Amino acid sequence: MQIEFSGRSVAVTGGGSGIGAATARAFAALGARVGVLDLDEAGAEAVATEIGDAAMAIALDVADAEAVTQALDRLAEVQGGLDVLVSNAGILRAYTMDDMGPQDWARVLATNLSGPFHCLHAALPHLRASAQAGRGPAVINVASTTAKSISRHGGIDYTASKSGILGLTRHAAYELGPSGIRVVTVCPGPTLTSMVAAHNTEERLAATARMIPLGRWVQPEEIADVILFFASRHAAMCTGTCIEVDGGSLISNGVAH
């Protein structure tokens, strides 16, 4: 099985850090041109600079539909279209329902669930053009194993937003299938990134590792590998579906080894 993306144009939201940065690097290493889109302008610039000529950084807030349209139109103009959208940007806040307010709920849902919708909606004309040119367009939404369980680290808003991505993916896959556009979800389990570091002590990291049957945290590059498979021609008949990349954490149901 050979995966390569020469001549393909890819957009990765949240590309300035963690899973998104690993994904942007991996696509570029296999020949794609990559848009590194992030709220954190410096993070996006750093990743794009590291990748080199194949990448461009764009600062945007995925919750802002107008900004998303402008960013994806610009990217498609510069990169000669858009074939793959990876909606990966997300935020997690650690609180209980007693500690959060309506504005917290609104911000997490706007980023984690409305964001992927705005990106998909804005990308549609480009993805349709990609399909018509026979370039096999795909949308990969990054949810979480939380979508099938509950968040141990985040709040109710995180669980609800990630669960919503599964519905978004299913519906979009159904509606866009006849147009030749595939839409899938990757559900990461505990993955070592800054999002996790911000909410954990060494002790909690070790305790979580004991609940992962494969015995360790997932590396961002291991999520990127599955995203690249989904984007490739080898996944040509995968749509509306989800792969968990979690070392088995979902099946262990919190039971430690």
Residue 86 within binding range of ligand NAD, rule CB under 6 A: no
Find out whether 27 and 84 touch, Cβ atoms under 8 Å.
yes
Nearest to 162 by CA among 38, 250, 251: 250
Letters for 144-163 (x = contact with ligand NAD by CB under 6 A, - = none) are x-------------------
- Helix, strand, coil percent content, the chain, rounded in steps of 5: 50, 15, 35
Residue 120 within binding range of ligand NAD, rule CB under 6 A: no
Q: Are strands 33-38 and 55-59 parallel, antiparallel or unpaired?
A: parallel
Q: According to CB under 6 A, which one of 11, 34, 72, 142 is a site residue for ligand NAD?
A: 142
Residue 191 within binding range of ligand NAD, rule CB under 6 A: yes
Cα–Cα distances in Å, from 141 out to 20, 39, 127, 226, 257? 11, 17, 15, 12, 31
The SS3 assignment for 122 reads helix
Verify whether residue 174 is a known catalytic residue: no
Query: From the centroid of its chain, how far is CA 152?
Result: 20
Residue 249 within binding range of ligand NAD, rule CB under 6 A: no
Distance CA 44, CA 65 (A): 19
Q: According to CB under 6 A, which one of 194, 216, 251, 256 is a site residue for ligand NAD?
A: 194
Q: According to CB under 6 A, which one of 8, 25, 32, 38 is a site residue for ligand NAD?
A: 38
Which is closer to ligand NAD, CB of 25 or CB of 135?
25
Exactly one of 27, 158, 217, 230 is catalytic; which is it?
158
Query: Quick one: which H or E segment has residue 205?
Result: helix 202-210
Residue 16 within binding range of ligand NAD, rule CB under 6 A: yes
Residue 195 within binding range of ligand NAD, rule CB under 6 A: yes
Answer positive or negative: Cα dihedral of 13, 17, 23, 26: positive
Query: Quick one: which H or E segment has residue 108?
Result: helix 102-109
Residue 247 within binding range of ligand NAD, rule CB under 6 A: no
Which segment (54-62, 166-174, 201-209, 236-244) binds ligand NAD by CB under 6 A?
Answer: 54-62
Footprint of ligand NAD on residues 59-78 (CB under 6 A)? Answer: 60-63
Which is closer to ligand NAD, CB of 128 or CB of 221?
221
List interacting residues with ligand NAD (CB under 6 A).
13-14, 16-20, 38-40, 43, 60-63, 88-92, 111, 115, 142, 144, 188, 190-191, 193-196
> Annotated catalytic sites, by residue?
158
